[in-house]
Amino acid sequence: MSTFLDSLGGWLLVVLVGAPLLAAAVLLAVGDRVGDRTAAETGTAVAAGTLLVAALAAVGAAPYDRPGTGLSVDVAWIPALGVRFHLGLDGLGAPLVLLTALLTLLVCWHLVRVRPVAGRVRGLVACILTVESGALATFTAQDLLLFFVAFEVVLVPMWFVVALWGDDTQAPRVGEPSTPLAGGESARRDAANRFVLYTALGSAVMLLGLVLVALRAGTTDLAALAYAGGAGMSTTTQTIAATLIVLGLAVKAPMFPLHTWLPPAHTIAPTAGSVLLAGVLLKMGTYGLVRVAVPVVPDGVRAIAPFLGALGVAGILWGGLACLVERDLKRLVAFSSVAHMGFVLLGVASMTPQGLQGALFANVAHGLITGLLFLVVGGLKDRRHTADLEGLGSGLRDRLPRLGWLLAFGAVAGLGLPGLAGFWGELLAIVGAWNGEGALGPLARPLAVLAAVGTALAAAYLLRVLFLVWHGPNGRSAGAAGPAALFAPVTVGDATTHEVAVAAPLVVATVVLGLLPWLLLDVTAPIVRVLLAGVGS
Amino acid sequence: MSAITGVQAVDPLALAPAIATLGTILVLVLVDAVAPAAARLRRVHDAVALAGLVVSGVFVAVLGVAATGRDLGPVAGAAVRSTVCVAGQGEYTLPTCSFVVSPLTLTLQAVVVVGAIVCLLLAVDGPGARDRSVHHLLLLATVTGALVLAGSRDLATLVVAFETASLPVIGLVALRRDAQGAQGAVTLLLTAVASLGLLLVGVAMLLLATGSLHLDRIAAAVGDPTLPDSVRVVAVAGTLLAVAGIAFKLSVVPFHLWTPDTYAGAPLPVAAFLSVVSKAAGLAAVVVLLGVGLPALGDAWSPAVAVLAALTLTVGNLVALRQTVAVRLLAWSTVAQAGWVVLPLGAVASGTPGDARQAVAASVGYLVAYGVASLLAFSVVVLLARHHPAGEDHTLEAYRGLARREPVAAAALGFALLCLAGLPPGLVGLVAKVVAVRPLVDAGVWWLAVVAAANVALGVAYYLRWTALLVVRPTAVPPTWRVRPAEGIALGVSLALCVAFSVLPQVVAGLVPTALR
């Protein structure tokens, strides 16, 4: 097996990145002759193939102990800028590559039976596959500027996903029929624009930092930069570069207070878009921190780590408090993403092995759990055209048991119940912060304590959701027959077998990673040691 | 090589690209004289003009291949062709030449020729088709001026070539022969005349301060550390006035005011010509004057250029955000893009030749990327204008749902807009932006770098707004297009160039000549 993979070498990665892109181009080129069902099935087949290739590549990339050398392809691309088309897979990228391929497969499969509220499926699948390709390229890029290019690839297709296939059928809130929520094309366009403008501005700022690193370090090779650990760059240069790079990535992660693009985008996006935004795009930001910030400009990141950690914790608390009062379930899940990503940022800012490990673990766990939650909430919205907690009504447990149990599972996983995937990442991030005096200074312990308070907040808001929607008498709320009836439901009744089957892999993965966390920790441990070697802790 | 004697010798091959277009003008005049205003000779006029441009392009390519082959020698950058030289005398031991064929010259000439060919193809069936010979004459005259300008290395040649590249454009703008066209032409005429005055005063002051018209001697004179401050002040003032005189051609704020009116008043292919060829000529004048002649005064002109670039980017993008008429949006977007083009020149405050070389290479690299993307965008806009009831004044709404009717044209326009915005798949634009900010980051001009970064987001906003319209559901079914061969070729050529440069951005990033001559 191993020799077979060796002979394939890095070209496996070219197939991994190229196949979804090619399929997207073909789907766009064939025109409307292809029906919705066929398009979704094609997408599913391509995504399944990509997942297979990703699995092969992940196996072939073992033992994951050196940056970018497991499997790699390396071709000169722009010699004048020293940029190479260099893809490589290591312990940092492998888990996220698998997560991306898995989530793409699930959302494409989801589209086979469940149509989005607006628009044709063919274009949506093409956009999803392009996003997948860009994300996979981001997670395998081993060159600073190639990373940037890949990072930018997802922008335009994701913008289209939100702007064209967004779910704008907002029923008025219960009890406030006179103030309908803004809906229609303008709402979609507004959410999509906010997403793309924030991210484009962040990327441009990050680019300045990347160019500074490339100029001062004299190379754009990420492995070489990681081994150099900032050597040859003064602390001032490193601090400027780290500030620019972290600012740019923090928009995408997102970091409080740069998160304000996230709730509207996640809320308006169709189910597939929400899952990919939360499960893949946010990860690109935090992955970038671990890949192009911490090992490349360690002194600079250490200088700004207290701010990063403090803003991460602010995100945890702000997200948690917002969730406590949020009435729209989809927005609530979006705000909980801000809180969860706060843990990831705190873990990175600690610059300790535990913290970084925790950040990487929480990244994957959040992708699985939030992906599941968005699938379930999207399912609920398909039935009632509202995600308003009161509009959904209580007693979901009895009325729609399958959806109800999936929601309950997602919620307890999200609040970090031990034994499920959400627990380990956040625990390790807090432990890392507690031990992170080296980077966080005197803030280390207070931040760890506040982050722990944040987990209590998570428990409070998720239990509130369960109390309002899942638990209680089988009472259809007063507004049930009113505003929600404005739109015909996409689906009626409880979750279909198809919907359960789509959600099942996420449930299984959440349980497996919760019970056997070392499956993931063993993959990331060696590479984290290498990346932190330059930090000198 | 030309004989290096006291006598001026002319090397015809060095001047061949310009001679080709000049010869074509003569042929066109002859044809016109033999059969004046003969409608049946329209195609002959078109063919002659096109052939002239193609021959000129072939000469540029031949010289380029020769220069590449020889540039690899140990004395890199030295083996360029030059002509109209005078022998060294007195303190200047080396011969000095008025026309130099360097990699810089050839790159600028290539942009000019390719841009002119595409614009000509767009124009042959476009509005104002009655004025075939006049149109072609004016276009070729402008191109001749721009080609000479790229190689000019003395102030007299530079001024004459610059005016040759500027004045015929006014005639081109007036070709629409309506009130709007006349207004556009008058606006441009007034700007051009005022700018000529500034340029002449600036050049005169430079001559006064350095005692020479030749740029390499001027470079040596202002680079002399013993230069008295009083003389230096005159040289700096002359430089700034000359830059102000050239800036209108690049549509740099605050010398941009003619741009929106003129673009809206000119026939669309002429607007495309203004945005690519005319801008290339403006940049040629700027980089030749500042990069070749005055790098030593970088500490004086570079901050000024930096302020102009920041203003141009911000004003252009902010106004473009509010435009609804397609050609006006393009006009303001070319203002913003001009800011990107001159941006790298804001990072030469050190005044070292190395920095000047990097900045000039970045500017020209950005021009190449902008040029191909702009040509592609205009190709589609011209096509749409011909099929839309509102003609050249159509709004962005005309693009609603274009992807359903004309998928190829819509894809091409979307690609061009993303190239201009600098987002994948428009990699040529993205790499060009990397190239443009590199000198700023290197020199630590952070305020300008941050302004540029903010302007990326502003640009994305309106380019994406336009791109989005292409794919939404159309309100009315637009008529199917009948694309004429010339327009098809123009679209194909510019699309091919955009795609090729996106796959191989080295073309844009790799314009780093070993020496600036």
Give tens-digit pLDDT for B275-310: 999 999 999 999 999 988 898 898 899 999 999 999
Return d(Cα A69, Cα A84) in angstroms, integer: 15
Cβ(A128)–Cβ(A101) below 8 Å: no
Q: For position A4, what pLDDT does the model report?
A: 60
Q: For position B64, what pLDDT does the model report?
A: 84
B98 sits in which H/E element:
strand B96-101
**Tokens 């993403």 sit at which residue?**
A337
**Tokens 């570069």 sit at which residue?**
A241
Contact B468 A79 (CB under 8 A): no
Cα–Cα nearest to B141, from B156, B161, B121: B161
Contact B441 A123 (CB under 8 A): no
Return d(Cα B43, Cα A335) in angstroms, integer: 66
Kindly list the residues from chain B whose CB atom is less than 8 angstroms away from the CB atom of residue A237: none
Higher pLDDT pick, B54 / A60: B54
Q: Phi and psi for A512 in degrees, rounded to 5?
A: -60, -45
Question: Which of A146, A207, A210 to mutate to test binding with chain B, by most B CBs within 10 Å of its CB?
Answer: A207
Average pLDDT over residues A51-57: 90
Return d(Cα B169, Cα B192) in angstroms, integer: 10
Average pLDDT over residues B239-262: 90
Return d(Cα A327, Cα A389) in angstroms, integer: 5
Q: For A64-106, write each residue's pLDDT tens digit.
A: 777 766 677 888 888 888 888 888 888 888 899 999 999 999 9
Return d(Cα B381, Cα B263) in angstroms, integer: 13
Cβ(B246)–Cβ(B199) below 8 Å: yes
Q: State the residue range of the domain holding B504.
A: 16-509
- Evaluate the CA torsion angle A440, A444, A448, A453 in order and state its sign: negative
Question: What percent of chain A lies above the pLDDT cut of 70?
Answer: 89
B505 close to A (CB below 8 A): yes
> Looking at chain A, how many residues does it have?
537
Mean pLDDT of chain A: 84
Return d(Cα B451, Cα B443) in angstroms, integer: 15
Contact A152 B430 (CB under 8 A): yes
Whether the predicted pLDDT of A467 surpasses 60: yes
Q: Where are the alpha helices (DSSP H) in A114-234?
A: 121-140, 144-153, 155-165, 184-217, 222-228
A208 close to B (CB below 8 A): yes
For residue B22, being part of any structural domain is answered with yes
Q: Where are the alpha helices (DSSP H) in B388-445?
A: 402-405, 407-421, 427-443
> Looking at chain B, how many residues does it have?
517
Whether the predicted pLDDT of A257 surpasses 90: no
Strands B81-86 and B96-101: antiparallel
- List the end-to-end C-alpha distance of chain B, in Å, as a whole number: 16
CA distance B116 to chain A (A): 28
Query: Number of folded domains in chain B?
Result: 1
Average pLDDT over residues B219-229: 87
Higher pLDDT pick, B227 / B24: B24
Return d(Cα A461, Cα A426) in angstroms, integer: 17
For residue B55, being part of any structural domain is answered with yes
Whether the predicted pLDDT of B52 surpasses 90: yes
Question: Which of B423, B448, B462 to mutate to test binding with chain A, by most A CBs within 10 Å of its CB?
Answer: B423
Return d(Cα A327, Cα A172) in angstroms, integer: 12
For residue B515, being part of any structural domain is answered with no
Cα–Cα nearest to B144, from B166, B123, B126: B166
B147 sits in which H/E element:
helix B132-151
Q: For position A2, what pLDDT does the model report?
A: 54
Higher pLDDT pick, A537 / A449: A449
A50: number of Cβ within 10 Å: 28
For residue B425, being part of any structural domain is answered with yes
Whether the predicted pLDDT of A179 surpasses 80: no
Average pLDDT over residues B461-480: 82
Beta-strand ranges (E) seen in B48-192 are 81-86, 96-101
> Treating both helix axes as pointing N-terminal to C-terminal, what angle do B229-250 and B298-321 enclose, rounded to 10 degrees?
20
Fill in the amino acid letter for B327: V
CA distance A196 to chain B (A): 8
Kindly list the residues from chain A whose CB atom is less than 8 angstroms away from the CB atom of residue B431: 78, 81
Question: Which of A208, A239, A251 to mutate to test binding with chain B, by most B CBs within 10 Å of its CB?
Answer: A208
Residue of B nearest to A160 (CA): B468
Cα–Cα nearest to A343, from A319, A368, A321: A319
CA distances from A260 to A168, A197, A250 (A): 19, 12, 12
Q: What share of chain B is helix, strand, coil (3-state, %, to 5)?
A: 75, 5, 20
Whether the predicted pLDDT of A155 surpasses 80: yes
Question: Which of B434, B465, B471, B508 to mutate to test binding with chain A, by most A CBs within 10 Å of its CB?
Answer: B434
Whether the predicted pLDDT of A536 surpasses 70: no
pLDDT category at B413 given cuts 50, 70, 90 is very high
Contact A153 B509 (CB under 8 A): no
CA distance A334 to chain B (A): 24
Residue of B nearest to A154 (CA): B424
Whether the predicted pLDDT of A311 surpasses 70: yes
Cβ(A33)–Cβ(A145) below 8 Å: no
Return d(Cα B437, Cα B365) in angstroms, integer: 12
Q: What share of chain A is helix, strand, coil (3-state, %, to 5)?
A: 75, 5, 20
Q: For A326-346, write each residue's pLDDT tens digit.
A: 888 888 898 999 999 999 999
Cβ(A374)–Cβ(A312) below 8 Å: no
CA distances from A68 to A1, A58, A140, A142, A357 (A): 20, 12, 8, 6, 18
Question: Which of B357, B428, B446, B460 to mutate to test binding with chain A, by most A CBs within 10 Å of its CB?
Answer: B460
Contact B431 A81 (CB under 8 A): yes
For residue B128, being part of any structural domain is answered with yes
Contact B453 A189 (CB under 8 A): no
Exposed, middle or buried: residue A6 (CB in 10 Å: 0-12, 13-18, 19+)?
exposed
Contact B510 A156 (CB under 8 A): no
Cβ(A240)–Cβ(A209) below 8 Å: yes
Between positions 468 and 497 of B, the ones with CB within 8 A of A are: 468, 471-472
Average pLDDT over residues B327-344: 93
CA distance A183 to chain B (A): 17
Q: For position A489, what pLDDT does the model report?
A: 59
Whether the predicted pLDDT of B439 surpasses 80: yes
Question: Which of B441, B466, B503 to mutate to test binding with chain A, by most A CBs within 10 Å of its CB?
Answer: B441
pLDDT category at A168 given cuts 50, 70, 90 is low
Kindly list the residues from chain B whose CB atom is less than 8 angstroms away from the CB atom of residue A123: 471
Q: For B69-87, write each residue's pLDDT tens digit.
A: 554 433 334 446 778 777 7
Return d(Cα B511, Cα B193) in angstroms, integer: 33
Q: For A205-250, write each residue's pLDDT tens digit.
A: 999 999 999 998 888 888 888 888 888 888 899 999 999 999 999 9
Kindly list the residues from chain B whose CB atom is less than 8 angstroms away from the CB atom of residue A78: 431, 505-506, 509-510
A145 close to B (CB below 8 A): yes
A152 close to B (CB below 8 A): yes
Contact A201 B509 (CB under 8 A): no
Q: What is the ipTM of this complex?
A: 0.90
Kindly list the residues from chain A whose CB atom is less than 8 angstroms away from the CB atom of residue B438: 81, 211, 215
Q: For B130-147, write each residue's pLDDT tens digit.
A: 667 888 999 999 999 999
Between positions 9 and 68 of A, the ones with CB within 8 A of B are: 31
CA distances from B222 to A57, A135, B84, B238 (A): 61, 52, 23, 12
Whether the predicted pLDDT of A535 surpasses 60: no
Cβ(B401)–Cβ(B474) below 8 Å: yes
For residue B318, being part of any structural domain is answered with yes
pLDDT category at A429 given cuts 50, 70, 90 is very high
Which range, of A199-213, A409-423, A470-484, averages the lowest pLDDT? Answer: A470-484
For residue B1, being part of any structural domain is answered with no
Return d(Cα A197, Cα A202) in angstroms, integer: 8
- Classify residue A471 by its DSSP letter: S
CA distance B115 to chain A (A): 25
Q: For position B2, what pLDDT does the model report?
A: 42
Contact B437 A207 (CB under 8 A): yes
User: Which among A31, A185, A208 has the least Cβ separation from residue B449?
Assistant: A208
Alpha carbon dihedral A458, A464, A466, A470, in 10-degree steps, equals -160
B143: number of Cβ within 10 Å: 35
Kindly list the residues from chain A whose CB atom is less than 8 angstroms away from the CB atom of residue B425: 153, 156
For residue B457, being part of any structural domain is answered with yes
CA atoms within 13 A on the CB side of B78: 6
Alpha carbon dihedral A379, A380, A382, A384, in 10-degree steps, equals 170
Give B263's strand partners. Answer: none
Q: For position A464, what pLDDT does the model report?
A: 86
Cβ(A161)–Cβ(A116) below 8 Å: no
Contact A204 B438 (CB under 8 A): no
B97 sits in which H/E element:
strand B96-101
Whether the predicted pLDDT of A116 surpasses 60: yes
Kindly list the residues from chain A whose CB atom is less than 8 angstroms away from the CB atom of residue B461: 193, 197
Whether the predicted pLDDT of A40 surpasses 50: yes
A123 close to B (CB below 8 A): yes
User: Which among B433, B442, B506 has the least Cβ separation from residue A78?
Assistant: B506
CA distance A523 to chain B (A): 32
Return d(Cα A324, Cα A410) in angstroms, integer: 17
Cβ(A131)–Cβ(A161) below 8 Å: yes
User: Which among B424, B452, B472 has the least Cβ separation from residue A149?
Assistant: B424
pLDDT category at A480 given cuts 50, 70, 90 is very low
A78 close to B (CB below 8 A): yes
